[in-house]
Amino acid sequence: MKKFISWNVNGLRAAVKNGFPEAFQKLNADIFCLQETKLQEGQIDISLPGYHQYWNYAEKKGYSGTALFTKEEPLSVTYGMGIPEHDHEGRVITAEFPDFYVLTVYVPNSQGELKRLPYRMDWEDAWRQYILSLEEKKPVIYCGDLNVAHEEIDIKNPSTNHHNAGFTDEERAKFSRLLASGYIDSFRYLHPEDRDRYSWWSYRMKAREKNVGWRIDYFVVSEKLKDHIKGAEIHDEIYGSDHCPVELDID
């Protein structure tokens, strides 16, 4: 059994002061993926004995960024999608293993007044093509903050958020299209009826205390691996970020 964890830490330096090392040890994942590390090279020295570390930094300081820590050394690791217009924000790491690819991804936020929605739509199309090109070689598992609550069950207040970033028809349709290309939302696959299970809460209005949240962090798994999905969890008991870690177990 392999255990995968994904966590948007909303600034790794802050998370380290807020319990990240303890949570990392407790979760004891074989592969641990981070998003929104908000780091440049050399800004943190984090000791993770037994893990190979891979980092992708945004050109803009204090912004975006991803990391992947793995006990098993990958066959290869690449950064970005190979598309210059999409690769300067440190959003993607691809690690190749013998039986599959694992990707950590931080999908662009469409932002207030949806000012970045057109860019987001272009990004989504490029992402789907990138995933499908990998899938031709071996199955894909990708995880991260996808910045979309897919269905109404994935958000506390669907009606009042319908035109807000992360719950627009356009963003949800792009995710639907990707899943229809041969992928599974692992949590929803194993927990089709579970309600009030969220991975992100606003820092405002005591949202986490009241569990007014969104499920926007996912493990998306190739349908070829469907029979190997043994567990999918949301660790909402773990604090340290406005997101909580999510888990996938594959045999």
Q: Is 106 a catalytic residue?
A: yes
Residues 15 and 2: their CA atoms lie apart, in Å, by 25
The single residue of 54, 57, 106, 142 carrying the catalytic annotation is 106
Name the nearest CA neighbour of 65 among 141, 144, 118: 144
The 10 Å Cβ neighbour count of residue 217 is 23
Distance CA 168, CA 147 (A): 11
CB 208 within 8 A of CB 201: yes
165: β partners:
none
- Spatial CA neighbour of 4 closest among 44, 33, 37: 33
Distances (CA, A) of 244 to 21, 81, 203, 218, 247: 14, 26, 13, 11, 10
Q: How far is it, in rounded angstroms, from Cα 202 to Cα 219? A: 21
The question of whether 185 is a catalytic residue gets the answer: no
Say how far apart CA 79 and CA 56 lie, in whole Å.
6
CA pair distance 75, 142, nearest whole angstrom: 17
The Cα–Cα gap between 104 and 207 comes to: 26
Active-site option among 145, 185, 242, 249: 145
Catalytic positions: 106, 145
